[in-house]
Chains A and B, each alone.
Chain A
């Protein structure tokens, strides 16, 4: 999407029915901003999606009620087809490829901004507001993405693939607030969602992730190139010695320690997953440490920098970050050297670059250096 995002008079608020987006809608309405609430029907939790039913999304009822409380119009947009295509199928495919996907980044970028902004524009809303904990700061080269004031709740990691053009058409009103302030506001306003807890990590998976992957493949193998669910994987050490049989390979994550079922003198960790060989390589803690990572689909929010960049890199959402040197190789590929070796460089996760509170951009982890 280009930066050609004309600001309409109307602001669309993405309303999930959770606390944060509800307060976002209520705050903007209270400030007199003309807003329309939009909920996206993304996934049918009732498990009968094939019938075209869409009655499983319980939270949408809460979104509608909050919209009434805030006195704003509200509509539900059906986006389950796009969600499956852009988020769920790649999530399953990543596991089958031995990766550990980060579906929330894809969802935020593709669904909440690309698609929702496009749909919002179709009825005259030029901006999208969301309940993300992150800030948009006007910088010399255009809008910049920054971490939230509430560092515990900061969600900037999930937004690294946004473009400056999208940021120019976005509002994150909660970025300057703490979660407890947000909840307090909801209570004062008497919003029906005021006491609601946090949403699930991966919203479309009700039970276990690995079981979900198996169900999806079993339901429609053709969708995943006729993937056949694997036999138990062979667990090997770094020298290639067989240590035993484990579970199917896609049930493992790089960095995982528990559940390996191997007796060893010191703790063993998953180092690598090799779907082609149906092998899972395990080793000691020392072997888990990587001096850097290889990345792909490198993305800069602002203009591309010249040469190498020094930044703090987070290799998963809850990672504290490590000082790094980012070396773009062209064609979206990148190598990153860590100042300190890091554990758990997991292919499929996002690596996000920070300078102070500012998010420069990021890449998708392809492997370790």
Chain B
């Protein structure tokens, strides 16, 4: 049996349309978009077409879209820009972020803190949502930026970005929205959200690795993180990754075309999984099930079962899921996000994240449920020896 991939919040397989759009650029075509000749012109055209498609997906104008190599790079670029600007004023000031941001924001903010910027990290409530009122009450006259993700990568919970952005706008405080997990899964209209920077990454919505973008509101600046060329209107130097950018554009176009069906399909998979799981394993604990959340993400704890061992058993049986946030060596640690929403380390370490994708089918869900039930039961039989102390 082929393995079933249920970890789409980590990365996704390429959409067939994306693959078709990329193939010429890793095959017969090539060119540096900055070159004057016809090869360069064709490559430039591919990049600009992609930019238009990304802009169309977000409901913004193409020149406002800056292409980067990753969402992490885009988040870092905005943070660095804000710090540079504040530095010019002689006082780094204050940054507001949430306690459940992606590491690129979390560690980026920590780096600015070391340079002298004050950082307020607003905790989520137990429902996995950062209260807008708490973010707003953290604002100060010297707040330089607010960072709030649109959808949390682990819990899938949606954050009150529009509400926060509207209030920040009145006070003239820019808002950076990391929308990497949301774009392509739910409709995202950058203008409607009212933020100033919005970040997306192609590989989270069936595009390729190595292409991402940050939308920068017209009139808002972004100084380059990388210098050494005039690409991206001097906001991001470096020869464009044409194949990946072509893929990003097509992924955006496919997402726009398929959005309504996607949401319904993902929700049907996830809802069937949760309903059936609750029936078969009544002691399973769903995290943030009643909160506004992405249609594809389910986070569930199996009390008394070690998540790491369950993940390995499932992988050996052909089902790929996730537990916690893996660090670079691949070992499992309790997820900071789960701890932030009030779970104990034991609960966090007994949890799995299942994130469905557009290529999953209902029979994948049923097969997964059978295996999950079997493997969790096998682990419970070993529980006296398998249960580990968590200090």
Residues of A within 8 A of B (CB): 10, 36, 41, 52-55, 57, 60-61, 64, 73, 75-78, 81, 118-119, 121-124
Among A52, A57, A73, the residue within 8 A (CB) of B333 is A52
Among B306, B316, B327, B332, the residue within 8 A (CB) of A36 is B316
16 A-B pairs whose Cβ atoms sit less than 8 Å apart in the complex: A54-B329, A55-B327, A55-B329, A57-B329, A73-B315, A73-B316, A75-B315, A76-B329, A76-B331, A118-B385, A119-B309, A119-B386, A121-B385, A122-B386, A123-B309, A123-B316
Q: Which residues of A contact B306 (CB under 8 A)?
A: 122
User: Is there an interface contact between A78 and B382, defined as CB atoms closer than 8 Å?
Assistant: no
Q: Which residues of B contact A60 (CB under 8 A)?
A: 329-330
A118 to B327, CA, bound (A): 23
Among A10, A41, A57, A81, the residue within 8 A (CB) of B391 is A81
Report the minimum CB–CB distance from A48 to chain B (whole Å): 12
Q: Does B301 contact A (CB under 8 A)?
A: no
User: Is there an interface contact between B313 and A78, defined as CB atoms closer than 8 Å?
Assistant: no
Q: Mark B351-391, 1 if CB is under 8 A from A, else 0.
A: 00000000000000000000000000011001001100001
Q: Which residues of B contact A41 (CB under 8 A)?
A: 329, 331
User: Is there an interface contact between A78 and B331, defined as CB atoms closer than 8 Å?
Assistant: yes
A121 to B309, CA, bound (A): 9
Q: Which residue of A lies closest to B308 (CB)?
A: A77
Q: Which residues of A contact B315 (CB under 8 A)?
A: 73, 75
Among B331, B385, B386, the residue within 8 A (CB) of A77 is B331
Q: Which residues of B contact A10 (CB under 8 A)?
A: 316
Q: Does B312 contact A (CB under 8 A)?
A: yes
Q: Which residues of B contact A121 (CB under 8 A)?
A: 382, 385-386
Q: Does B328 contact A (CB under 8 A)?
A: yes
Q: Which residues of A contact B328 (CB under 8 A)?
A: 54-55
User: Is there an interface contact between A122 and B327, defined as CB atoms closer than 8 Å?
Assistant: no
User: Is there an interface contact between B316 and A54, defined as CB atoms closer than 8 Å?
Assistant: no
Q: Which residues of A contact B329 (CB under 8 A)?
A: 41, 54-55, 57, 60-61, 76
User: Is there an interface contact between A75 and B330, defined as CB atoms closer than 8 Å?
Assistant: yes
Q: Which residues of A contact B312 (CB under 8 A)?
A: 36, 75, 123
* A122/B385 contact (C-beta < 8 A), A73-B315, A73-B316, A81-B391 known: yes
A118 to B308, CA, bound (A): 13
Q: Which residues of A contact B333 (CB under 8 A)?
A: 52, 54, 78
A124 to B332, CA, bound (A): 19
A305 to B332, CA, bound (A): 44
Q: Which residues of B contact A64 (CB under 8 A)?
A: 330
Q: Mark B310-350, 1 if CB is under 8 A from A, else 0.
A: 00110110000000000111111100000000000000000
Q: Which residue of B lies closest to A85 (CB)?
A: B391
Q: Which residues of A contact B316 (CB under 8 A)?
A: 10, 36, 73, 123-124
A36 to B317, CA, bound (A): 12
A1 to B316, CA, bound (A): 26
A190 to B308, CA, bound (A): 31
Q: Which residue of B lies closest to A79 (CB)?
A: B331
Q: Which residues of B contact A61 (CB under 8 A)?
A: 329
Q: Which residues of B contact A118 (CB under 8 A)?
A: 385-386
Among B309, B331, B391, the residue within 8 A (CB) of A122 is B309
Q: Which residue of A lies closest to B332 (CB)?
A: A78
Among B313, B327, B378, B386, the residue within 8 A (CB) of A54 is B327
Residue of B308, B328, B329, B391 most packed against chain A (CB within 10 A): B329
**Given contact pairs A61-B329, A78-B331, a sample of 6 additional A-B residue pairs in the complex whose CB atoms are under 8 Å apart:** A41-B331, A54-B329, A57-B329, A78-B333, A122-B306, A124-B378
A41 to B308, CA, bound (A): 14
A325 to B331, CA, bound (A): 47
A122 to B349, CA, bound (A): 15
Top 10 closest pairs, chain A to chain B, by CB: A78-B331, A122-B386, A122-B309, A76-B330, A123-B312, A76-B331, A123-B313, A41-B331, A55-B328, A123-B309
Residue of A36, A54, A122 most packed against chain B (CB within 10 A): A122
A75 to B309, CA, bound (A): 10
Q: Which residues of B contact A76 (CB under 8 A)?
A: 329-331
Residue of B327, B328, B331 most packed against chain A (CB within 10 A): B331
Q: Which residues of A contact B331 (CB under 8 A)?
A: 41, 54, 76-78
Interface residues of B in 146-160 (CB under 8 A from A): none
Report the minimum CB–CB distance from B90 to chain A (whole Å): 31
A78 to B309, CA, bound (A): 12
Q: Which residues of A contact B327 (CB under 8 A)?
A: 53-55
Q: Which residues of B contact A78 (CB under 8 A)?
A: 331-333
Q: Which residue of A lies closest to B390 (CB)?
A: A81
Q: Which residues of A contact B391 (CB under 8 A)?
A: 81
A364 to B378, CA, bound (A): 39
A123 to B305, CA, bound (A): 11
Report the minimum CB–CB distance from B326 to chain A (whole Å): 9
Q: Which residue of A lies closest to B327 (CB)?
A: A54
* A122/B330 contact (C-beta < 8 A), A73-B315, A73-B316, A81-B391 known: no
